[in-house]
Chains A and B, each alone.
Chain A
Amino acid sequence: MSTPTASERSEETVGDITYVRTDPDLPPVAIIDRSPITTKHKIVFGVIALLGAIAWAMIAFFRGETVNAVWFVVAAVCTYLIGYRFYARLIEMKIVKPRDDNATPAELFENATDYMPTDRRVLFGHHFAAIAGAGPLVGPVLAMQMGYLPGTIWIIIGAVFAGCVQDYLVLSISTRRRGRSLGQMARDELGTIGGAAAIVGVLVIMVILLAVLALVVVGALAESPWGVFSIAMTIPIAIFMGFYLRFLRPGRVSEVSLIGVVLLLFAVVSGGWVAETEWGADWFTLSKVTLSWCIIIYGFAASVLPVWLLLAPRDYLSTFMKVGTIALLAIGILVARPIMEAPAVSSFASSGTGPVFAGSLFPFLFITIACGALSGFHALISSGTTPKLLQKESQMRLIGYGGMLTESFVAIMALITAAILNQHLYFAINAPAAQTGATAQTAADYVNGLGLSGSPITGAEITAAAEGVGEESIVSRTGGAPTLAFGMSEVLHKVFGGEGLKAFWYHFAIMFEALFILTTVDAGTRVARFMLSDGLSNLGGPLRKFKDPSWRIGAWICSLIVVACWGGILLMGVTDPLGGINTLFPLFGIANQLLAAIALTVVTVVVIKRGLLKWAWIPGVPLLWDLTVTMTASWQKIFSGDPKLGYWKQHSICEAAQEAAKLCLTAKTPGDVDKIVRNTFIQGTLSIVFASLVVIVFAAGVMVALKAIRGGGQPLTEDEPVPSRIFAPSGLIPTAAEKEVQKQWDALPEARAKSVGTGAH
């Protein structure tokens, strides 16, 4: 195929619209639309803005007895629409400057395997499924401890000004660099030291992510035979799907996914029957420690088994479930229109003494919500994976910015499900066992002493709530997943199936979360193993052998190291006398936000290097905010003298107790004291490592940026543009001009047309 030279590029302007061709024999490949905003458009956005303002006023200032959940949905959606239409457009015009007459990596290297221009709507689904996971569901649930208002504001505003900006800009710079990964771009743009720190940072942060996600699953499944059975069944179901796709009907992905979903629903239903039998309760009631070992063994096995057997089918299944369940929940909330039980701002927001996680609103609310508003991990998807599937640069706004808006919306729904729960019940589920005493009566006494609004709860009511969802107990089911499942069953049973299906919906929600957490654990272990073997091979010498991906022993060794790292932290979390999730989740949040700082540093440096200093505030302000939050949080975790907050304070208290052979904090035995001493040492060390790596990356970024401002810095590493030879619309809905051009492409004979916007997906 001949590549047209630049001289063949031609432009034709009709009214406000310019059509760009790269080949005189082909229809236009790009449309530049300069049409002014129509009156109708102005009215529509005026109405959206007004509606959004009313919804925000209802949430923030209405201090009546009840606020309806629908106002949260309205406020969120209106803000997203305004943000997408105006702020994302500003970023597009001033920084991204998409050139649809240039080929994307997907078009340039198309091989119909990993590089493949994909319909924007399908890619939106792919990208969303890849970025959304347990994070946006769990974080807002835990953050509800501080009331609904701070969380709502940060999830919506944070997404519009920080999270979406990061995802969009990382996608745009990676697309111009043949889909290079964040680590590679950091090395290219920040130099060797900054790059190395970024790569090590990504690896360490990945390990803590896997550990905490696994901890969430353990919290949801421990002592729950129903949950354990239905999750265990997903393994044979996935293997069946794997065999089906490999040997029976290769390529029938939708078909096998539908079969898988039906089997999965049956697994959830039958879990209820199994849990009622004596043998079922016997086999599937597992303690937290046993369950952790199961997940560790699973994680190792899944990461060394062939992809087609377990990972690929699970991934299909979890994508289906994710998109389906989130849509179901949105419908449920709109139809059931539940009422908020939580206060707008709770007393824990300022006192910082809440049982779910320690610390005051600033900075720990922002750390806890993490993924729903700004998530560093998205930078790993936006670079590398998605650019290889992108048809046109102008679609990046929809995929990058729009994808993150959707994730933020998921976080808002998670927040709603936690806010509609009885607040006494919320704290009974989420306070660690050390406080609640792990029985219904002690938990009732504990939460009644917290000074919450609303009438006190009795032990019998807590037990009844547990029985309502088919569980023995819901006291101290920490980690966020059970709370979310509880809230989801509250919403969904009102719309689908009534009281009788409440237990089904609870376990459906647990299965849905555990399913994609396990997929993340599986995929994440593989990716971390890959980074590790890559890093080891770069050390040279005999370690160079790790470069060869087909060397099975090397893969096994690296998998074992990765699994040992996150497995160790997981076991540490489940046996932690201080509670586990409340000490580890902040570490996860800090890690995630620090990764965002690395990504935003790379992006800001690129923007400055391109000579766009004037617009560097767009990624720069979120970067500075994020650094302030994470550095304050790290500082408090490392140096705070408050034994609820500072890892090293806890460490020194318990060390002293250890020497004096006494007990400390919530420790009940001398063994607990030893555990606290060890755990706080590891957690404190990790905090220091994370913070130091990010400071190095940021310092490298500042130096490169200063050099670029003074002139004479290193050049950008963007690739030479190659003219595009395909066409596809930019936004979700094609414009009239785009439809017209699309028709011209569709009319071309098969062999010439490479337009991909028309295929049925």
Chain B
Amino acid sequence: MGDNHYRRYVAHRERTHPGEPVCSERDYWRMRHAATERNPQSRCC
């Protein structure tokens, strides 16, 4: 359902940008929702 998405994100950042600060869980979800806002996903019938 998305519970582990932030953990995945942290792991991903550590792998791709080691040593750089990672945003907080709160900010991660803000970013996710902002992305959905820009690029809405369809739901079917």
Contact B43 A113 (CB under 8 A): no
- Contact in complex: B29, A130 (CB < 8 Å): no
Are A130 and B41 neighbours in the complex by a CB distance under 8 Å? Answer: yes
- Which listed residue (A111, A131, A307, A760) contacts B4, Cβ 8 A? A760
CB distance from B29 to the nearest CB of A (A): 5
Contacts of A319 in B (CB 8 A): 1
Q: Any chain B CB within 8 A of the CB of A723?
A: no
B42-A761 in contact (CB<8A): no
Residue B44 contacts which of A132, A246, A530, A759 (CB distance < 8 angstroms)? A132
**At the interface, yes or no: B40 with Cβ under 8 Å from chain A?**
yes
B19 at the interface (CB under 8 A from A): no
> Is the pair A381, B26 in contact by a Cβ cutoff of 8 Å?
no
Determine if B15 and A754 form an interchain contact, defined as CB atoms under 8 angstroms apart. yes
Contacts A251-B25, A251-B29; A114 near B42 (Cβ below 8 A): no
Q: How far is the CB of B17 from chain A (nearest CB, A)?
A: 11
Q: Does A152 make an interface contact (CB < 8 A)?
A: no
Residues of A within 8 A of B39 (CB): 114, 530
The answer to whether B16 touches A209 (Cβ under 8 A) is no
Asked if A113 and B9 make an inter-chain contact with CB atoms under 8 angstroms apart, the answer reads yes
Which of A232-240, A372-380, A616-624, A677-685 faces chain B? A372-380
Closest to A117 in B: B8
- The answer to whether A307 and B16 have CB atoms under 8 Å apart is no
Kindly state whether residue B2 has any CB partner on chain A within 8 Å: yes
Can you list, as one digit per residue, whether each of B26-45 has a CB less than 8 Å from chain A (1) or not (0)?
10111111011111111111
Q: How far is the CA of A492 from the CA of B6 in the complex (A)?
A: 38
Please pick, from A114, A134, A257, A519, the residue contacting B35 in the complex, using a CB distance under 8 A.
Answer: A114
Contacting pair B4 A306 (CB below 8 A): no
CB distance from B4 to the nearest CB of A (A): 6
Inter-chain CA distance A655–B42, complex, in Å, is 39
- Total A residues in contact with B, Cβ cutoff 8 Å: 56
Q: Flag if A253 contacts B3 (CB, 8 Å).
A: yes
Residues from chain B with Cβ under 8 Å of A315 in the complex: 43
> Are A527 and B1 in touch, CB under 8 angstroms?
no
Q: Is the Cβ of A213 less than 8 Å from the Cβ of B45?
A: yes
**How many angstroms between the C-alpha atoms of A598 and B3 in the bound complex?**
37
Name A's interface SS: helix
Given A307-B36, A308-B33: A251 and B44 within 8 A (CB)? no
In-complex Cβ contact of B3 among A134, A209, A254, A524 (8 A): A254
B35 partner residues in chain A, CB cutoff 8 A: 113-114
B33 CB, min distance to chain A CBs, angstroms: 4
Contact A251 B43 (CB under 8 A): no
A526 touches B4 (CB 8 A): no
A245 at the interface (CB under 8 A from B): yes
Asked whether any CB of chain B lies closer than 8 Å to the CB of A123, the reply is: no
Q: Which residues of B contact A261 (CB under 8 A)?
A: none
What mask results when residues 98 to 140 of chain A are scored 1 for a CB within 8 Å of chain B, else 0? 0000000000001111101000000000000011111100000
Is B29 in contact with A245, judged by CB distance below 8 angstroms?
Answer: yes
Please give, as numbers and ranges, the residues of chain B lying within 8 Å of A549 by CB-CB distance.
37-38
Complex CA gap A377/B9 in Å reads 31
A residues less than 8 Å from B41 (CB atoms): 130, 384-385, 523, 527
A116, A308, A375, A754 interface centre (most CB from chain B within 10 Å): A308
In angstroms, Cα B39 to Cα A307, docked, is 11
Contacts of A736 in B (CB 8 A): none
Instruction: Provide the bound-state CA to CA distance between A191 and B4, in Å.
Output: 42
> Which residues in A have their C-beta under 8 angstroms from that of B42?
130, 377, 380-381, 384-385, 523-524, 527
Quick check: A378 and B25 within 8 Å, CB to CB? Answer: no
Within 8 Å CB of B36, what residues of A?
307, 311-312
Q: Does A568 contact B (CB under 8 A)?
A: no
A747 within 8 A of B: no
Contact of A377 with B45 in the complex, beta carbons under 8 Å:
yes
Partner of A112, one of B1, B13, B25: B13
How far is A315 from B16 in the complex, measured between Cα atoms in Å?
31
Residues 302 to 348 of chain A near chain B (Cβ within 8 Å): 306-308, 311-312, 315-316, 319
What CA separation (Å) do A116 and B16 show in the bound complex? 14
A113–B31 CB distance below 8 A: yes
- Chain B residues near A500 (CB-CB < 8 A): none
Q: Which A residues are CB-close (under 8 A) to B38?
A: 549
Q: Is the CB of A251 within 8 A of B15?
A: no
Give Cα A667 to B28, complex, Å.
Answer: 57
Interchain CB contact under 8 A, A380 and B37: no
Residue of B nearest to A760 (CB): B4
Q: Which residues of A contact B30 (CB under 8 A)?
A: 246, 308
Residues of chain B lying within 8 A (CB to CB) of residue A111? 12
Tell me how far the C-beta of B27 lies from the nearest C-beta in chain A, rounded to whole angstroms.
Answer: 9
Among residues of A, the one whose C-beta sits closest to the C-beta of B1 is A253
When distances are taken between beta carbons in the complex, the residues of chain A under 8 Å from B12 are 110-112
A645 at the interface (CB under 8 A from B): no
Contact with B along A743-761 (1 / 0, CB 8 A): 0000000010010000111
A257→B3 CA distance, assembly (Å): 11
Q: Is the CB of B1 within 8 A of A257?
A: yes
Q: Is the CB of A246 within 8 A of B29?
A: yes
Name the contact of A380 in the complex, choosing from B26, B32, B44 (C-beta under 8 A): B44
Contact with B along A488-525 (1 / 0, CB 8 A): 00000000000000000000000000001001100110
Which residues of the other chain, A, contact B15 by a CB distance below 8 angstroms?
1, 751, 754
Residues on the A chain within 8 Å of B28, using CB: 250-251
A604 at the interface (CB under 8 A from B): no
CA distance A135 to B26 in the complex (A): 36
Give CA–CA (A150, B44) in the complex, Å: 25
Q: A312 contacts B33, CB within 8 Å?
A: yes
CB-CB under 8 A from A377, the residues of chain B are: 42, 44-45
CB distance from A523 to the nearest CB of B (A): 4
A114 vs B30: C-alpha distance when bound (angstroms) = 13
Among A113, A213, A371, A378, max chain B CB count under 10 A is at A113
Interchain CB contact under 8 A, B43 and A761: no
A252 at interface, CB cutoff 8 A:
yes
As a 0/1 sequence over residues 220 to 253 of chain A, the CB contacts with chain B under 8 angstroms (1 = contact) are: 0000000000000000000000000110001111
Residues of B within 8 A of A370 (CB): 45
* Contact (Cβ within 8 A) B33 A306: yes
A257: nearest residue on chain B (CB-CB)? B1
Q: Are B2 and A251 in contact (CB under 8 A)?
A: yes
| CB–CB B4/A523 < 8 A | no
State whether A252 touches B33 (Cβ < 8 A): no
Q: Does A408 contact B (CB under 8 A)?
A: no
In the bound complex, CA of A270 to CA of B20 (Å): 51
A-contacting residues of B (Cβ < 8 Å)?
A: 1-6, 8-9, 11-13, 15-16, 25-26, 28-33, 35-45
8 contacts between A and B (CB under 8 A): A112-B5, A112-B8, A253-B1, A307-B36, A377-B42, A377-B45, A385-B42, A523-B42
Known: A307-B36, A307-B37. 17 other contacts (CB 8 A): A116-B8, A131-B44, A133-B44, A245-B29, A250-B29, A251-B3, A308-B33, A315-B43, A319-B1, A370-B45, A371-B44, A377-B42, A523-B40, A523-B41, A530-B40, A549-B38, A592-B45
Residues of A within 8 A of B (CB): 1, 110-114, 116, 130-135, 209, 213, 245-246, 250-255, 257, 306-308, 311-312, 315-316, 319, 370-371, 375, 377-378, 380-381, 384-385, 516, 519-520, 523-524, 526-527, 530, 549, 592, 751, 754, 759-761
* A-B pairs with lowest CB-CB distance, top 6: A135-B45, A112-B9, A526-B40, A112-B12, A253-B2, A523-B43
